Structures are given as C-alpha cells and as structure tokens.
Amino acid sequence: MNSDPVGYPEVMIPAVSTRNRLLDAFEELLIDGGERSATLGAVAAAAGVSKGGLLYHFASKEALVEAQLARLIDEAATDTENIRTAPAGAVDHLIRTSVNIGSPLDRSFIATTRLAQGRHDQAIAVLESIRAKWLAVIEDSVGDHDTAQAIMLVSDGLYGNSSLAGMPSAPAVVADAESMDRLIAVLSRLNTRS
C-alpha cells in the first residue's frame, strides 16, 4: 500500500465485476422503465461497456434475464433463512423488514416484478416460488395457514406502500419502532400458538 500526500494509506476498493455492473444496470432500467426500456444496447450503455462486452457475459437478453432471476433467487434464499432463524421470531423479522429500503433484494424483487408485469412466465414463477417459501416459514412459525396468509398480506401492504413513498398520494407507512411494535403486537394476537 502506498500513502497519499496527507499520510493516509491508499485504500484498495475492489472493483465491481463487469457482470454485476451489467446486472445492476439491467435492474435499474427495468425498475425505471420496464422491460421495453431494458434493451441490450441500453444495458451496455448504462453499465459503461460496449455491446460486445455485454454479449461476452450474456449472449442474449434471455441470458441476462436468467442471471437477474438467479440473483433474486439467491438473495431471497438468504432472506428466507434470516426470517426462519431470526432471534425475535419469524413474524417479527418479516414485518420489520417489509419496508422497501432499496436493498439489493428490494431492487432485484422490483426488477423481477417489472418482468412479471410484462407477462414473463419465468419471472412470475420465481416470484410465486419466493412468496410460497416466505409463507411456509411464517406458517411453520404460527401454525396456521390462514393466519400466515394474513401476516403475509400485511407484509405485502407494508412493502407496497413503502415503495410508493414520496409520491403525492402515497399512504403513510409504519416506519418508526413504536408503530412497528404495535403492529407486531396486533399480529401476535392472530397467532394460534401464542
């Protein structure tokens, strides 16, 4: 390591791989403008690579979609395990993390939703599978399918409303800890195992 003129050591920041830059650009384009705006040329330009560079990593738009879906599946698997093993319990963790904060999981999830809106069958299947896994963890936790469904719908509502934040007609989102605690207390009364 070298030092700069002020005497601080030079920090080596690992470069984001070209493949990940391309996936990030693809997700950003999907989120902002839907699948039609996420052309190969637009993805390459947004990632700062040539179209040939994009094609080196992803031979087609379908290959790019498959990689983006695989990314979401990996992120959701980690999230599902975090819900399952949360010290405060699965419901507590699910509800507290049901607010869109722009995390990599949020971005991949919204991008995949944009593909699903375009009737992309594989994207629809991935979203359905992820939701089924989240539901299964909650159902295991509460012991009742209908209660788990109600909790998932609350989670969906929190996520949807938080995704609208900043829009003129956006509904209020439960964001402070005290409000979240009260909501979780209400949901715990639904729990047949309590």
Residue 44 has pLDDT above 50, yes or no: yes
- At 24, list the tokens: 């990030």
Residues 133 and 71: beta-carbon distance below 8 Å = no
Share of the chain above pLDDT 70, in %: 84
Number of H helices, E strands in the chain: 9, 0
48: left (phi over 0), alpha (psi -120 to 50) or beta: left
CA-CA distance, 71 to 68, in Å (whole number)?
Answer: 5
What confidence score (pLDDT) does residue 5 get? 44
pLDDT in tens, 156-182: 988 887 776 555 555 566 667 788 888
Assess whether pLDDT exceeds 80 at residue 30: yes
144-161 average pLDDT score: 91
pLDDT 10s digits, 56-110: 999 999 999 999 999 999 999 999 999 999 999 999 999 989 887 889 999 999 9
Confidence of residue 1 (pLDDT cuts 50, 70, 90): very low
Asked if the model's pLDDT at residue 192 lies above 50, the reply is yes
Q: How many CB atoms lie within 10 A of CB 66?
A: 13
What lies within 8 Å, CB to CB, of 41 at 6+ separation is 51
Between the alpha carbon of residue 12 and those of residues 1, 15, 20, 69, 172, the distances in Å are: 8, 9, 19, 31, 42
Whether 47 shows a pLDDT value over 60: the answer reads yes
Q: What is the DSSP letter of 99?
A: S
pTM above threshold 0.85 = no
What is the pLDDT at residue 166? 54
